[in-house]
Amino acid sequence: MGYFYTTLKYLAVTLWSVFVIAPFLWAISTSFKDFQSVTNGATYIPWVDFEPTLEGWRALWKSPAQGGVAIVEPFFNSVFVTAAGSAISILLGTLAAYALSRFTFKAGPIRNGDITFFFISQRIMPPVVLAIPFFIMLGKFSLLDTLVGLILVYIVLLMPIAVWIMVDFFNKVPREIDETALIDGCNPYQAFYKVVLPNSIPGIVVAGMFCMIFGWTDFFFSFILTFTEVQLLPVAIVALNSSITPWWSLSAAALVSVAPLVVVAFIVERFLSKGNLSGALK
């Protein structure tokens, strides 16, 4: 019976892995095809079913005037906006979360839990509800179609995620750590920066990953709030769809857009264990 369940478990994992990996394999295969290889029917194995070409990848570096798609500038725009928005959101969100976790706030019937829910409620609203206010506000300050304007919008969108995750994490960090630091001569600020914050790296990494994922994959606001001066990667990739879609370049661009998140996931994976709190108490 045990052998049956083990076999069933590995079979399920294998089927799910195939289901998840198959679209990436299809995109990789398509990125090395040309027009004829795409339109003549489904092919899968290079040098067997079709003759591979690098034209789809070369097109990513060419300008539209040269027959390319020019995603280099949108790629670095996305990197800058996502990194800046995520970093500022984590900084402000961590400070707010620590305050909500360690101190008691009261304003009439409003308590800490209500304030925390207010933050995450900003993510409950459909994005279209915020689009017009953001559009008008950025227009008033001449920030439409600018990187700074997008960063400000991303901070508003991403900081609730950071606060929600970090409040829960700080609540699980023993208060004795703070008290021990205060007894050892630290003031509340030093206790936070020197003792609590280093023990909160896993939570910060998780919050940062979520912020980067939501920021990197955002299409709606980057499409609504930009026109010609600034373009982010999701908008540039969607713009490839036309009467004749270059599936080879589209597949290559999609793989480029996924690659940074995969790299980040491998880099921060070792920080995701929460075991570093063991032994933190005296």
Distance between CA atoms of 84 and 197, rounded to whole angstroms? 20
Chain Cα centroid distance, residue 93: 16
Cα(249)–Cα(193) distance, integer angstroms: 47
Helix (H, G, I), strand (E, B) or coil at 56: helix
* C-alpha–C-alpha distance, residues 270 and 246, integer Å: 38
- For the ranges 116-120, 174-178, 214-218, the maximum mean pLDDT occurs at 214-218
Q: Which of 42-51, 61-70, 71-80, 103-112 has the highest mean pLDDT?
A: 71-80
Q: What is the pLDDT of residues 80-104, one digit of tens each?
A: 999 999 999 999 999 999 999 888 8
End-to-end distance of the chain based on CA atoms, in angstroms? Answer: 47
Residue percentage of the chain with pLDDT more than 70 = 94
Domains and CATH numbers, the chain: 2-53 (no CATH), 72-277 (1.10.3720.10)
Per the model's pLDDT, the better-predicted residue between 221 and 196 turns out to be: 221
Q: Which residues is 171 bridged to in the sheet?
A: none
Q: What pLDDT is recorded for position 272?
A: 64
Band (pLDDT 50/70/90 cuts) for residue 36 is confident
